[in-house]
């Protein structure tokens, strides 16, 4: 589906292959397909930053608005050494379909800076964040393209970005950035939205397979904000979370982990240990130290990749033993591995559905900013759960009706909505066969 130039980009080409499967099951005009082959805008910028030691360092930044037919671009900004234009374009492409799948009035966008944020001081991070906004200010806006947190960005960084944009525009522009601190117009529930959305999908789907929480084992790769929060929600609901990991490695305990204690210990010591904490005291309990690859290969019922993209590929797909995979990360399974998992009867619940809680509550924050009317946490979570349940059930019904895998079903639904919006502006059939 993607053009020849895009085909050279591995991530974007891989994303395009998913659409080719969906196109077999949806009636969409050639015009719509042609427009979805190209990002609307793709911006690369240089960001000079004065470092604490007085030296000047120049960082590479990107912002891509892939499509805005259904509304302003929407997507996060990630800080990571591996950020490049191909990755950002791919993520913007996925965001386009994620927003359409959740029926949000947004298009897809994404941004990033090639940087290891752990090597920068807080003051350097602030200067970098404000410099990024200086560089892309003309390409974003409350009705143009709206930013949000992503990998290694957080509410504080989003606050700096909103403040810098407001300074440039000489007016308070809260809605240009979501995921902000509450005192700067953020929404309650935004920090847990991705995990809460994923939890809602899991709770809606697993009963269809007669899986009871107490008898369901779970392994989670990625113990960042989304992964750690989701682990806690699952544990509280009675699921047996037996393994978790971060970028350095993981822990495995067949008897199950006390997630609250693991999180507490990780926050204090930055170490992944199987512990049980009582008041201020934490005791190490029996566990096995494992690598991220070993975690992926564990014999568990549910596997949740919640780290980065391309974690399951042809190199390790045969090691995967979980029957149910819920993608909390973006693109954790590449196309070739995905085909093998489907052939083996593995149920893969796709990222554009499972991790859509974040963008959904970002939409809620944008609405609240525009109206100046803020909701309680209970109201936010109720609206989020209702939205996620409705769309998860719709994907399931499409999958069952067309006898297709869940990822293809999700793209079918998203393509229908995108096609309708694109064709509403006119297509070949309209201009050739109808009169005004």
Task: Provide the annotated active-site residues.
Answer: 110
For residues 218 and 300, what is the distance between their CA atoms, to the nearest angstrom? 6
Give the strand pairing for 41-50 and 56-67: antiparallel
Contact 189, 360 (CB under 8 A): no
224: tokens are 């960042």
């Amino acid at each position: 589906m993607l053009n020849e130039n895009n085909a050279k980009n591995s991530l974007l080409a891989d994303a395009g292959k998913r659409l080719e499967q969906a196109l077999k099951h949806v009636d969409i005009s050639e015009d719509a397909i042609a427009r979805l082959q190209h990002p609307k805008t793709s911006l690369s910028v240089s960001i000079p930053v004065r470092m604490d030691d007085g030296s000047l360092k120049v960082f590479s930044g990107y912002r891509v608005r892939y499509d805005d037919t259904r509304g302003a671009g929407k997507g996060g900004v990630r800080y990571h050494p591996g950020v490049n234009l191909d990755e950002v374009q791919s993520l913007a492409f996925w965001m386009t379909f994620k927003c359409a799948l959740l029926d949000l009035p947004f298009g897809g966008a994404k941004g990033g800076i090639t940087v290891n944020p752990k090597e920068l001081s807080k003051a350097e991070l602030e200067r970098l964040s404000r410099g990024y906004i200086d560089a892309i200010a003309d390409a974003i806006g409350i009705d143009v393209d709206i930013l949000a947190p992503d990998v290694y960005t957080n509410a504080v960084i989003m606050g700096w970005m909103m403040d810098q944009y407001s300074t440039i525009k000489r007016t308070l522009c809260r809605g240009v950035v979501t995921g902000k601190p509450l005192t700067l117009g953020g929404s309650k529930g935004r920090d847990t939205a991705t995990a809460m959305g994923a939890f809602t999908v899991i709770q809606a789907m697993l009963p269809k397979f007669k899986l009871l929480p107490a008898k369901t084992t779970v392994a989670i790769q990625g113990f960042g904000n989304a992964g750690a929060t989701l682990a806690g929600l699952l544990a509280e609901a009675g699921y047996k979370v037996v393994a978790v990991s971060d970028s350095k490695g993981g822990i495995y305990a067949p008897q199950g982990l006390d997630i609250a204690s693991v999180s507490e210990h990780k926050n204090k010591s930055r170490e992944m240990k199987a512990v049980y904490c009582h008041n201020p005291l934490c005791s190490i309990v029996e566990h096995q130290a494992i690598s991220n690859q070993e975690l992926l290969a564990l014999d568990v019922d549910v596997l949740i990749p919640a780290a980065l993209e391309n974690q399951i590929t042809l190199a390790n797909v045969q090691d995967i033993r979980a029957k149910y995979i819920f993608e909390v990360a973006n693109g954790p399974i590449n196309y070739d591995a995905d085909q093998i998992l489907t052939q083996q009867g593995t149920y893969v619940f796709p990222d554009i559905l499972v991790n859509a809680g974040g963008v959904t509550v970002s939409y809620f924050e944008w609405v609240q900013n525009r109206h100046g009317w803020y909701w309680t946490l209970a109201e936010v979570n109720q609206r989020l759960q209702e939205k996620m349940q409705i769309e998860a059930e719709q994907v399931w019904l499409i999958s069952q009706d067309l006898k297709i895998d869940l990822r293809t079903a999700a793209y079918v639904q998203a393509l229908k909505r995108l096609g309708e919006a694109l064709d509403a502006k006119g297509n070949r059939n309209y201009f050739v066969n109808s009169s005004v």
